[in-house]
Chains A and B, each alone.
Chain A
Amino acid sequence: MTDKTKIETTSGLPAHPQVESLCDQLTAGRIDRRSFLRSMTWLGVTAASASAFAGFIPAPARAETPVAGGKLRFGCAIQEITDPALTSWIEASNLYRNSLEYLTYVDADNIVHPYLAKSWAPSADLTVWDFELDERAKWSNGDAFTPEDVIANIQRWTAPESKSSNKTAFDAVKLVEKTGPHSVRFTLSRPVASLPEQLYSYTCAIVHRDFDTSGANWPANPIGTGPFKLVSFEVGRQATFAKRADYWGTPAHLDEIQYIDLGTDIATHLAALASNQVDLIYRATIAEYDLMKSLPNIQILTGSAAHTLVMRMQVDAKPFDDIRVRKAVQLAADNKQMLDVVYRGEGQIGGNYHVSPIQPDHFPLEPVARDVAKAKALLAEAGYPDGIDLELTLGNTQGRWEQDTAQVLQQNLAEAGIRLKLNVLPAAQYWPVWDKVPFGATYWAHRPLGSMTLDLAYRSGAAWNESHFADPAFDAALDSAMGTVDPEARKAAMEACQTILRDQAVMVQAYWPARFSAAGKNVRGFVLHPADYFRMDGVWLAKA
């Protein structure tokens, strides 16, 4: 039996009351070790002591010692950056991630670690959170990193006129106050167990307290606390970061990172990788898989993530305001076929409720079987005995597979008499309308927890609520899920959320595609993060 007294908190304070029950559940085998680790770290327990308790064997010593120096070339879209809190593309966040840091860090296994905040401790009811900031952290302009910085950031996210998606994500934050020279306290209006994890959302990069008064344009005034500094930045072309000699934390290995915009065609990205013009590409899809496999001088990186294409219907727009129409669409869709045809079965089938089986709070709901006859009957009942004409708008924002999926859906729906017209826009033209079209196919990135996605996308009035879904019962169920630490109880609470979403037929969310990327053989320490949050300070280049 492992010893509970070995549990250490990041703050050094006594552990949260729920820590004991989590330990018991793990010992009894009711929760798995990963869920245990995640929940423990939310509550401010150190990842090291939690892993030791869980009996994780420490990772074997690295066979290679990292080599310092070198320049890494990363093929990635160079998008406009002004205010990090307003970013809507993850690629942009990966640039400023080198210079701007977050209060917490969530690794590729979804375990939360200290970052700018070296510790946190929630109250027993999870509504008051004390964060202790790392006193070593310094801004690149020489200023010390202080609680005022944190307060200024949270306040600008949650201000009434804020346009940031953080406004929804941190809606529960009532008050942020300074409680000491390096400490801040968050007071919430309802319990949120995953607060430390949410602080690593890509829009939560901490900018200098004078960000707004100095023009609110980060590349023009690139002050940061991070291990690299911005050297050059040209939208659509390239961006360069150089290692900071005066970084407060563990220094990065690389001397320089160059991001190169290679356009939108992933075949070009692979061509650049194959001819050693870049060392790393941002992402590949199933379409490039065979080409990748045929290249001798690269390593293929694969992983799974809760990222997906959501074909959602606006519940207040005609004809989707009639649930029978939405249900008919859902019943006629063949989710398995979409996965098999478009992604060659590489991924997992979705259940039309936007929570992935790999997310720890996923409740395994019984899938609803495809039923074309019933779909037809529902349509006839809704007043469309001769079928109905619908239009789906999409933008292929992550590649051609989005359109392929829509085409399979088109054929599925045809069997039920639904004539689906596809309105394909260029990616840049889809974003301005993604939340406005009545029926749209939107790519949603990975979030560590299903509840985080649901909170952003389906809570009544949420900033990114593209389906206009609004249901007090759903909101209440979500509140209860978000306030629960215990992984099993949280799953149970999610059952209600998922069931409501599925039964209200808000969307067809057919599958969760597998993730692919590729790198040169000499790239080390690069981990495919499920949310594409790539921290580059641990990456190094082996000598050829």
Chain B
Amino acid sequence: MPLILFILRKAGQAVATMLAVSLLVFLALEVNVDDVAVKVLGQFSTAEQRAAWLEANGYNEPFVWRYLDWLASFVTGDWGMSTYYRAPIVELIPDRLAATAWLALGALALIVPFGLGLGILAGMRPGSLTDRAISVLSVVTTSIPDFASAVFLSIVFVFWLGLLPGASTMIGGFSLKELVLPVLVLALYSTGYLARITRASMAEVMATPYIRTARLKGASLPRIVFRHALRNALITPITVILLQVPWLLSGVIVVEVFYAYKGFGTLLYEAAINSDIYLIEACAMVSVLVVVTTQILSDLAYGLLNPRVNLLGAPKPAKGDAA
């Protein structure tokens, strides 16, 4: 029962967030109606054409009414036409989102095992040589921006070794080879970050009294790590992993544009530089949806991993908690 209540409440919050964002996006893009007409009809349109278009499309109505009208069409799946791609937006987005999902999935498939693995390894014995090496590596990879590592990896794998394709357009259908470089760039950046979070969390757990007790009782290190430490140490990293999902959605822009990968990031980028307002609106709403969904998931995961957290917010009164 509390779980259903929790989900309902989170869903309510999500809807409220989406409404707020939709209003802001709509305000930013459609408050100046003349601007909308120019963007839709192009700069070669005449003043009369624009006036006629505004009249025909209900732009002379009050703002609130226009917003509600837009919201109603949006909810019912009428997302309008892209002025740049000249195609219905509802048809454009799923493909692009799927392409980015492949990219994100590929990246997560590297980030999660390597990030967690390296973090645990480093956090098991804080201060050891392994810890130092992993920490330095993590700091170095996370501090290289994605546009720099994209160039670097291309120089090595495309121009020098000639092992991988230099562009990832996927024009000839899905190609695993074309996925390698963009995935590597994303993974390079995030793996180190996750490793550092995991390391910190692990090191903290390893210093707690119950682990010390286990040590004193003579338990082996693997046993301590797997039986006692992991569950507690994973709470933060799992939340971080789930928060990577929305980051992957918007953070891929640089990588996608660099490799000419036709995913959600390129779509958003091209919508923005071409002032394709309806497409920007739709992309913004899709992004918000992804963000709120992953937030709910991460809260759920947090609650499941940490029984001391009450999903409905109030901390569970636990006996001896005050000690």
Contact = CB atoms under 8 A, between A and B. Distances in A.
A265 interface: yes
Nearest to A233: B86
Contacts of B169: 237-238, 260-262, 272, 277
A77 to B, nearest CB: 11
Contacts of A270: 166
Contacts of B259: 268
State the main secondary structure of chain A at its contact with B.
mixed
B258 interface: yes
B273 A274 contact: no
Interface string A285-303: 0000001001100000000
B168 to A, nearest CB: 9
A271 B151 CA distance: 10
B14 to A, nearest CB: 31
B97 to A, nearest CB: 15
Interface in B145-177: 151, 154, 158-159, 162, 164-167, 169, 171
A525 to B, nearest CB: 24
A273 B257 CA distance: 17
A272 B258 CA distance: 11
Contact of B274 (A269, A271, A274, A428): A428
B128 interface: no
A258 B273 contact: no
A272 B167 contact: yes
Interface residues of A, number: 37
A294 B159 contact: yes
A298 B322 CA distance: 72
Given A274-B158, A275-B158, A275-B164, A262 B275 contact: no
State the main secondary structure of chain B at its contact with A.
loop
- Of A264, A274, A427, A429, most buried by chain B (CB within 10 Å of CB) is A274
Interface in B180-217: none
A263 B266 contact: yes
Nearest to A297: B162
A432 interface: yes
A275 B166 contact: yes
A501 interface: no
B44 interface: yes
A276 B84 CA distance: 29
B39 to A, nearest CB: 9
A147 to B, nearest CB: 29
A263 B257 contact: yes
B247 interface: no
B86 A268 contact: no
Contacts of A274: 158-159, 162, 166
B260 A261 contact: yes
- Of A236, A258, A269, A271, most buried by chain B (CB within 10 Å of CB) is A271
A275 B162 contact: yes
A271 B275 contact: no
A80 interface: yes
Interface string A495-522: 0000000000000000000000000000
Contacts of B275: 428-429
Given A263-B257, A268-B259, A428-B273, A295 B159 contact: yes
A86 interface: yes
Given A265-B258, A428-B273, A271 B171 contact: no
A426 interface: yes
A291 B159 contact: yes
- Of A265, A270, A294, A429, most buried by chain B (CB within 10 Å of CB) is A265
B82 to A, nearest CB: 9
B140 to A, nearest CB: 24
- Of A235, A295, A429, most buried by chain B (CB within 10 Å of CB) is A235
B43 interface: yes
A432 B39 CA distance: 10
Nearest to B43: A432
A234 interface: yes
A301 B38 CA distance: 40
20 contacts: A80-B86, A86-B44, A235-B86, A236-B85, A236-B262, A238-B169, A238-B171, A260-B167, A262-B260, A264-B257, A268-B166, A268-B260, A269-B167, A271-B166, A272-B166, A273-B166, A275-B166, A276-B165, A277-B166, A429-B275
Q: Which 6 residue pairs spanning A and B have beta carbons closest together?
A: A271-B166, A272-B167, A263-B260, A432-B43, A275-B165, A262-B260
Given A262-B169, A268-B259, 12 more contacts: A234-B85, A236-B84, A262-B167, A263-B258, A270-B166, A271-B166, A271-B167, A272-B167, A272-B169, A274-B158, A274-B166, A428-B275
